[in-house]
Structure 1
Amino acid sequence: MSTPALYRRVVRRETHSSRSTSAITLAVVLIVVLAWLGTESVLAALGQAPLLVAPSDAAAAVLGAASAPAGILTAGAIVVALIGLVLVILAISPGRRGRRSASIDRTAAVIDDRVIARSLARTASYAGEVDPSQVSVSVGKRRAVVEIAPTSGRRGDRAAVDEAVRRELASYDYSPALRHTVKIAAKGKVRS
């Protein structure tokens, strides 16, 4: 395997989460259900009392479900459809970790979103002339939101913070790139 291909594979593995947790959970649930059904069948064949429901009673209940009230059938169908929808979404959607890849030719580099958030918070704190505890940054897949609570009695300079954050993001070379939004709270915070 060539080095660039290996780097792409390593970066992909580090920036996307695996489906093993959901697959293992689903497998364990299916194993428990099938073990229970097997146990109930063996107990019924031996003439013993069932643990929860005898297989013949369960089959009769499933076959007689058509005569149940429409509300109960609709609620059951909605629950089954939601479970199916969640499983389909888990299977199709790419699992993304809070990390980004840097475009460096000679190595594989991955940057955690928390590091980016701290860097943007520090930059916004300096540009807005506020304490770092008055800055909150959240980094999503494509957007960073910088929220500043200005010191009480002072107005925050949104343009200065916006420009400083823009320059900071432009200095990074990672993918996917981030756009940003700067929000300054209407109420100030007393500086301690």
Structure 2
Amino acid sequence: MSTSTTYRRILRRETHSSRSGIAVTLAVLLILVFAWIGTESVLAAVGTAPLLVAPADAASAVLGAAGAPVGALTAIGVVVAIIGLVLIVVSLAPGRRGRRAAGADRTAAVVDDRVIARSLARTASFAGDVHPDRVSVSVGKKVALVEIDPVTGRTADLRSIEEAVRDEISGYDYTPALRPRVKLSKKKGKVGR
């Protein structure tokens, strides 16, 4: 196996989350349901009182569900459909951690999104002459949102902040790449530094 293939595999493993958590949760729930059904069946075969519902009563209730009110059946159907849709989306959508692969030829390098956010906050703070506490950055899958909370009586030069943040991001060699978005906070300015 070549080194680049190994690095790609390592980077994929570090930047994407596995589905083992939801798979284990579903397996445990199914095991519990089947264990309950098995226990109820054994109790019914022995002639003992059921824990919750006897299997014969549960089967007749399911078969008699057609006579239930339409609203209740519709609600149950919608809930089951939503659960199924969520499970399908979770199983097919790629899980992503808050990390990015950094361009490096001789090693596998991974950078956390929080490190990128802190770097962009510092850059925006210096460029806009704003205290670092007044800058908040959130890094998504493709966009880095820089939000400046202005100080009362001072105007932040949004253009210079955008240029500085854009220059900072263009210096990164991360996969997936980021697009900067800089905006002033909608809140009223605060008194302070």
- The TM-score range, normalised by the shorter chain, is over 0.9
Check the 8 A contact 1:134/1:189 in 2, yes or no: no
Distance 2:91 2:146 in 1: 33
Secondary structure at the counterpart of residue 111 of structure 1: strand
Deviation at 1:185, TM superposition (A): 2.4
Distance 1:101 1:190 in 2: 40
Which amino acid in the other structure matches residue 43 of structure 1? L
Match of 1:52 in 2: 52
Aligned residue-pair number: 192
Distance 1:101 1:154 in 2: 38
Match of 1:62 in 2: 62
TM-score normalised by the chain length of structure 1: 0.98
Check the 8 A contact 1:123/1:164 in 2, yes or no: yes
Deviation readout 1:71-113 (Å, 9 max, x if unpaired) = 0000000010011011111110100001110121111001100
Distance 2:128 2:54 in 1: 69
Match of 2:152 in 1: 152
User: Which blocks of at least 5 consecutive residues in structure 2 are unaligned?
Assistant: none
Which amino acid in the other structure matches residue 6 of structure 1? T
Match of 1:189 in 2: 190
Which amino acid in the other structure matches residue 74 of structure 1? T
Which amino acid in the other structure matches residue 95 of structure 1? G
Distance 1:184 1:110 in 2: 30
Distance 1:132 1:20 in 2: 39
Match of 2:18 in 1: 18
Secondary structure at the counterpart of residue 77 of structure 1: helix
Distance 1:53 1:38 in 2: 12
Which amino acid in the other structure matches residue 66 of structure 2? A
Which amino acid in the other structure matches residue 26 of structure 2? L
Which amino acid in the other structure matches residue 111 of structure 1? V
TM-score normalised by the chain length of structure 2: 0.98
Deviation at 1:166, TM superposition (A): 0.3
Distance 1:142 1:82 in 2: 28
Pairing of 1:174-185 with structure 2 (within 5 A): 174-185=174-185
Secondary structure at the counterpart of residue 183 of structure 2: strand
Deviation readout 1:106-152 (Å, 9 max, x if unpaired) = 11001100000000000001111111110000000000100001111
Secondary structure at the counterpart of residue 138 of structure 2: strand
- Over 6 Å off, 4+ runs: none
Check the 8 A contact 1:152/1:189 in 2, yes or no: yes
Secondary structure at the counterpart of residue 191 of structure 2: coil
Deviation at 1:7, TM superposition (A): 0.1
More divergent stretch after superposition (174-183 vs 9-18)? 174-183
Deviation at 1:189, TM superposition (A): 1.7
Q: Percent identity over the alignment?
A: 67
